[in-house]
Amino acid sequence: MRRVRYYSHGGPEVLTLEDAALPEPGPGQVLIAVEAIGLNYLDVLMRRETAADSVYYRPGPGTVTGDVVGTVERTGPGTDSSLTGSRVAVLLEDACAEYVVADADWLVSAPAELDAGTASTLPTMGAVARGALHLGRLGKGETIMITAAAGGIGHLAVQLARHLGAGTVIGAVGSAAKAGFVKELGADTVVDYSQPDWTDAVRDAAPDGVDVILDAVGGDTLLQSTGLLAPFGRAVVYGAADAHWGSVPLLGLATLKTLSGFSLLAWRAAAPDRARADIAELAGLLRSGELRVAATTLPLTAIAEAQTRYEDRAVLGRLVATP
């Protein structure tokens, strides 16, 4: 079979497609024949990072993460054999290959009526968007701002916020070229946070402040975002696309505002029933067409091109690779 590895940090050119032996599922695991892999911007940061003390650093050889959609070929010892033949989706650290091994615990059923790009959002992107909205306690009629609103998680969060009854949805994007896409998803207002006056545009749209912020950018964008919160406003951070978490002055939060961080793994550990219910809800919305996924597909042989698109911030929605 073929798989992706990199043996030094650097640009997309360090990614290699190599031959490897078929992996064997161990106890509690399954072997999956891969149909598609939903890719992540996070891998760009890990591939480039050379500082060992960075949260994004990974020692070599490096693998590429992703949300695998595929069919269970066989099961390992002690694993439910009835899983064989089922179509599933799962988040993996070593995802870019023709066959992968995964723990059975958090396999997600991938309904046949969902295309692979859509099904790939169930384990992670949709689950993060829904979980972060839970943590932010978005109420009906409230105003929400979502940064990186054109991204894989962001474009789902915009739609879910509307589904949950948000009064005003503000999408924040990194370039004007993404504004139309986010408006089509249901955002009332779209602002470009690469512009120096972007916070003024948010204040014009939400003169009383923003009730909930979902942030995946970090750094200065997060710092400026917290200043837009209304009294009792809640900011939820689930990523740092600019590679810097940044800092927020505590005095600013002392004005009846809160800041929290969302981790899918922590959410699953702390509230497994809620996490599974979120996935079931998402699957239902996707099947009904109330929630749609924008996906672009490339062959696995173009993995370097895929990561270049992420570096150029040229991806709308989900980017998918197929073996």
Summarised one tens digit per residue, pLDDT across range 47-70 is: 999 999 888 889 989 999 999 999
Count structural domains, the chain: 2
CATH number for the domain harbouring residue 146: 3.40.50.720
- Taking only the tens place, the pLDDT of each residue in 65-89 is 999 999 999 999 999 999 999 999 9
Token pair of 230, please? 């209304």
Q: Where are the alpha helices (DSSP H) in 121-168?
A: 125-136, 152-163
Q: Is the pLDDT of residue 211 over 90?
A: yes
The b-or-e profile of 66-89 (16+ CB within 10 A means b, else e) is bbbbbbbebbbeebeeeeeeebbb
**Shared-domain flag, residues 114 and 135:** no
DSSP 151: S
Parallel/antiparallel/unpaired status of strands 29-38 and 66-75: antiparallel
**Shared-domain flag, residues 117 and 131:** no
CA distance 65 to 67: 7
DSSP 97: B
* pLDDT at residue 70, as a whole number: 98
* pLDDT at residue 255, as a whole number: 74
106, 190, 316 from 304: Cα distances, Å: 29, 30, 17
DSSP 44: H
Give me the domain span that covers residue 260. 127-266
Residue 172 near residue 198 (C-beta atoms within 8 A): yes
CA distance 227 to 222: 9
**Shared-domain flag, residues 131 and 157:** yes
Residue 179 near residue 160 (C-beta atoms within 8 A): no
Q: Is the pLDDT of residue 251 over 60?
A: no
**Shared-domain flag, residues 255 and 178:** yes
Other CB atoms within a 10 A radius of the CB of residue 234 amount to: 21
* pLDDT at residue 222, as a whole number: 87
**Shared-domain flag, residues 50 and 156:** no
- Work out the average pLDDT over 306-317: 94
Nearest to 116 by CA among 152, 151, 69: 69
* pLDDT at residue 16, as a whole number: 96
- Taking only the tens place, the pLDDT of each residue in 147-176 is 999 999 999 999 999 999 999 999 999 999
| Domain membership flag for residue 272 | no
Residue 287 near residue 121 (C-beta atoms within 8 A): no
**Shared-domain flag, residues 146 and 245:** yes
Give the chain's mean pLDDT.
94
DSSP 322: E
**Shared-domain flag, residues 102 and 131:** no
Question: Where does the pLDDT of residue 262 fall: very low under 50, low under 70, confident under 90, or very high at 90 and above?
Answer: very high
**Shared-domain flag, residues 227 and 136:** yes
pTM for this entry: 0.93
- Taking only the tens place, the pLDDT of each residue in 9-48 is 999 999 999 999 999 999 999 999 999 999 999 999 999 9
- Taking only the tens place, the pLDDT of each residue in 117-154 is 999 999 999 999 999 999 999 999 999 999 999 999 99
CATH number for the domain harbouring residue 30: 3.90.180.10
**Shared-domain flag, residues 68 and 187:** no
Question: Where does the pLDDT of residue 239 fall: very low under 50, low under 70, confident under 90, or very high at 90 and above?
Answer: confident
- Which three-class secondary structure state does DSSP give residue 308? helix
* pLDDT at residue 254, as a whole number: 63
Question: Where does the pLDDT of residue 246 fall: very low under 50, low under 70, confident under 90, or very high at 90 and above?
Answer: low
Q: Is the pLDDT of residue 257 over 70?
A: yes
**Shared-domain flag, residues 105 and 156:** no
